[in-house]
Structure 1
Amino acid sequence: MKIFFSLFILVGLLFASDATIEVVKKADSLPSMAVEDASISYDDTFKLRFFKSLVADLNVISLFNVNRHHRLANYNDTNVLVENKDMSYVLRYKMFEDDNRALNIEMKLFNRDEEVFSKRYRVNKKNIYMFISHAMAYDINEFMGEPSVEWMKRKVIFARIIAPKKSEIIIADYTLSYQHVIIKGGLDIFPKWANKAQNAFYYTSLDPLKPTLKYVDIKTAKVKNIISSDGMMVCSDVSEDGKSILLTMARNGQPDIYLYNTTTKKYKRITTYSGIDVNGQFMGDNKIIFISSRLGYPNVFSKRLDTGIVEQMVYYGKSNSSCSAQGQYIVYEARESSNAFSVNTFNLHLISTKTDFIRRLTATGINEFPRFSKDGDAIIFIKNYKSQSAIGIIRLMHNKNYLFPLKSGKIQSMDW
């Protein structure tokens, strides 16, 4: 046993840069930061709302111990407030409304009373203030020389169940502070961004006689039908160039994965197992991962598109029902309990295709539909716990989780 433990420690040191190894940053080791509000427009309620949004974003980038006190300052003062003189960094900003009623924000960052960074922002309407907050945190992260958090500026699209056979598709920021209902009136689910620009998306409509995949151009508001299928029709992933999509269809009674070419409008069947194959995800290297029942329970498999070779990817968990891939990493959902009389726990786990380590990412509730950010820095997921639905963010290399609850309804599925 001692030999095994020593080998385990040795292997852990060899793979210390592996995201499957838990990275623990003690809060006390992070530099301190205070935020000073020097706004000259808007009422106290809006000022406090923006302050809280900015503090939340600064916490999410995980670089500072952020002081939560809302303190007022004069923007042109050369020194920080006396209360903040011992802080490593002080962020001071000024909100003001211009003649066109647009929201403007000037900000500057102090390091020990020396101004080290400044920038100005503007949006036409103050109700999208959270996007300035996200941009400020993003820019500070860039200034500090940290790996990009570009995902903070991306939009989330999700389906919200609001009543039996009624749903809405909503475009939001990652904190759910901003929400815009773009599809409503029926049962519309499984939205998926159609491209990197996030100016179009797919979704499944269950209103017609057959489940139908639809495409929406956000700029023109035009909706067009793509393909229909009896039983099941879901777009589970879109290629980097947007020219290929992975579909789950049940054209032969059982769901299989199909590759659909958006240019030629033709599709090709990828899996032919007599059971259930669903939720295909592009993995790179001409390979996909997917969920299959070929072991008698849902589990994660991969398949090469050139050779057809199928490989089991996960060996932990007996009900692994959703997954996402980014480079060498796979995040998947696994059932952690089996209780017929209460709600079961479903947790997220991270594995690497190059090691045997498994890292559990969540601890309670039902955690599902994980999706990597494009750079692999973060994972977004849906959490349902005690009758509340929320969007969760996991910062892998900082070992931190953040939750942003939905005020009403239940999130059915989402994409980032």
Structure 2
Amino acid sequence: MRPSPGYRTTTGLAGHRRKCREALLASPWITDFPAQISARGEDRSGLTCGGAGVLPCRTGGGAGKRPGEERVNGTPIHKAVWIASALAALLLVPPVSSSREYLTITDPNFRPYPIAVPAFKDLGGAKDVAARARDVLVSDLSITGIFKLLDPRSFIADQRHEGLSVATINFNDWINVGAEGLVKVGVLKKGKKVVLDCHLFDVATGKEALSKRLEGNARALRRLVHTFADSVVRHFTGQPSVFFTKIVFAKKTKPRSKEICIMDFDGFGEKCIVRNGSINLLPAWSADGRGIYYSSYLHGGPHLYYVDLTTRKTRLVSRARGLNIGVSAAPDGKRIALTMSKDGNAEIYVMGTDGSNPRRLTNDWAIDSSPSWSPDSKKIAFVSERAGTPQIYEMAADGTGVRRLTFQGNYNQTPDWSPRGDWILFNARDERLVYDIFKINPESGKIERLTQDQGNNEHPSFSPDGNLVVFSSTRTGESKLYIMNADGTNQRLISRKKGEYTTPEWGPWPVK
């Protein structure tokens, strides 16, 4: 129904060996030795291909001289010609890249990387801490969608005697359970501090790929584990993880009030930053992640406000007559877009981040709302009823070049543009009056469905790397927050407390 992510590798030693083997097989003389070329690109009669930076073939240890054959410097002449031909072909192969092999999750041929995470070792007074730390790491790696966490019940290694170093690990035991990666962590508790001795191994080569020693207050255990998990993700993808990002949302805890709250990417660390007894709604991150825009009925309105996450000071941004809602901050940090009705009809406006110089972009009889910026800040996706029903449109940041994107369904709303620019999320109401989440490619018009038959699913928002989506769902009754892979797989609940969670937005990369 939808393509699933996969991984792609850059050219490395394996790629060079493949090219070497292809060059050898392309030689017209290779037909004399079809059984002597192995899958690794090795000539079992003595020619070996591999290495980097220099001509990657060497001779040695060939077969004995056959009766009547001619030799050149001790090498059979027909084999010497074959070697020369092979070496000439290798000269045509570009130099191998020194870059590492990285995983990506945009390839349709998806195969999650199988990784084993056995119980963390208690190095002293840390039995409970070690168990909690492992749970955090397993959750982190599972959420990414990159890894396949192997079931510990399948492990056959003697973990009582295996340590944290290469010399103490029987890698064949891990190969036999399908592991390609292996994580080993030792945990030491020293008073109020905890030490994590973290290691990542490549099972096939039996080598250590990553080592990290982390120390901090025991209360910061989750952050310490996130740090190691981030290193693992960077090792395999070359990109930062989302483990230090946050999500903002509106939360209803009382009949006539809504609060603006934030939480970590996995639902932990929830705290409310706007709690004034009024109705506060539709929060949105500033481009730099230092503050939150939101609309509030505190003094009439709804008016638009901004709260600084460091000082917790709130300032008024727009209190024009009518609506001041649905803000979206341009990624370049220079402007915000929002829905205003000060001229009588709901239209899209842009203004400075402080509310200065408001300018109207749309001018139509119908309602225009829910702006979302493209990652380059040059376009805005929005919802308009100008065709009779709510549909997704796009326009240039100056209001020109309006183009309709959705033609299926009669109630499409809340667009959110991918950080990569390749998809726009939106939710749509079907013939059963149920809301589900879809995404559309703005260039091709291709639409993919991400949720189905699990309550109402609304207000999707991309993670800053474009690999994950947060959304609200009523699948268990009350509206809660969930995250999923950008292809709709791996859906999981992240909100853990009482109350109705709505309108989430995933924050940008944290400020360094």
Q: TM-score, normalised by structure 2?
A: 0.68
Cα shift readout 1:150-201 (whole Å, capped 9, x = no counterpart): 33321111111112122222221111022122222322222211133x2222
- 1:148/1:96 CA distance change after superposition, 3 Å: same
Aligned partner of 2:25 in structure 1 is none
Matched residue, 1:52? 135
Relative contact order (C-alpha < 8 Å, sep 6+): which is higher?
A: 1
3-state DSSP class of the match of 2:479? Answer: strand
Indicate conservation of the 8 Å contact 1:212/1:227, yes or no.
yes
* Residues 251/45 of structure 1: CA separation in 2 closer, same or farther (3 Å cut): farther
* SS at 1:49 equivalent: helix
Does the 8 A contact of 2:287 with 2:332 survive in 1? yes
Deviation at 1:382, TM superposition (A): 2.1
Q: Structure 1: which 5+ runs fail to align?
A: 1-11, 339-343
1:23 counterpart residue number: 108
CA RMSD after TM alignment: 3.2
Query: Would the alpha carbon gap of residues 48 and 317 (structure 1) be closer, same or farther in structure 2, given more than 3 Å must change?
Result: farther
Cross-structure match for 2:269? 178
Higher mean alpha-carbon deviation, 236-245 vs 366-375, is at: 366-375
Q: What is the aligned-residue identity percentage?
A: 23
Partners of 1:170 and 1:183 within 8 A in 2: yes
| Unaligned runs of at least 5 residues, structure 2 | 9-103, 507-512
Q: Secondary structure at the match of 2:234?
A: helix
Larger radius of gyration: 2
SS of aligned partner of 2:152 = coil
Find the counterpart in structure 1 of residue 449 from structure 2. 360
Report the CA distance shift for 1:41/1:92 in structure 2 as closer, same or farther (over 3 A).
Answer: same
For residue 200 of structure 2, the aligned residue among 93, 109, 119 is 109
Q: Which moved more, 1:259-268 or 1:289-298?
A: 259-268
The whole-number CA distance in structure 1 between the counterparts of 2:121 and 2:240 is 26
- What is the correspondence of 1:148-297 to structure 2 with a 5 Å cutoff? 148-186=239-277, 187-196=279-288, 198-262=289-353, 265-283=356-374, 284=376, 286-297=378-389
Report the Cα distance in structure 2 between the residues aligned to 1:239 and 1:41, rounded to whole angstroms. Answer: 50
1:393 aligns with 2:483: yes
SS at structure 2 position matched to 1:53: helix
2-structure distance, mates of 1:204, 1:395: 29
1:246 shift after superposition? 0.8
**C-alpha contact (below 8 Å) 1:34/1:67 kept by paired residues:** yes
Question: One-letter code of the match for 2:455?
Answer: G
Q: 1:107 to 1:290 in 2, by over 3 A?
A: same
Question: What is residue 345 of structure 1 aligned with on the other side?
Answer: 434
CA distance in structure 1 between the partners assigned to 2:224 and 2:291 by the alignment: 23
Q: Give the match for residue 4 of structure 1.
A: none
Q: Which deviates more, 363-372 or 384-393? A: 384-393
SS at match of 1:296: coil
The residue type paired with residue 383 of structure 1 is: S
Question: 1:157·1:172 contact (CA, 8 Å) conserved in 2?
Answer: yes
* Farther off after superposition, 158-167 or 72-81: 72-81
The equivalent of 2:422 in structure 1 is 328
1:305 to 1:109, Cα distance in 2 relative to 1, 3 A: closer
Larger strand fraction of residues? 1
**Quick one: distance in 2 between partners of 1:116 and 1:303?**
47
**Residue 24 of structure 1 contacts residue 399 of structure 1 at CA under 8 Å; is this kept in 2?**
no
Question: Are the structure 2 counterparts of residues 306 and 224 from structure 1 closer, same or farther at C-alpha, using a change threshold of 3 Å?
Answer: closer
Partner of 2:69: none
How many aligned residue pairs are there?
Answer: 390
CA–CA separation in structure 2 for the residues paired with 1:250 and 1:162: 29
- Structure-2 residue corresponding to 1:119: 212
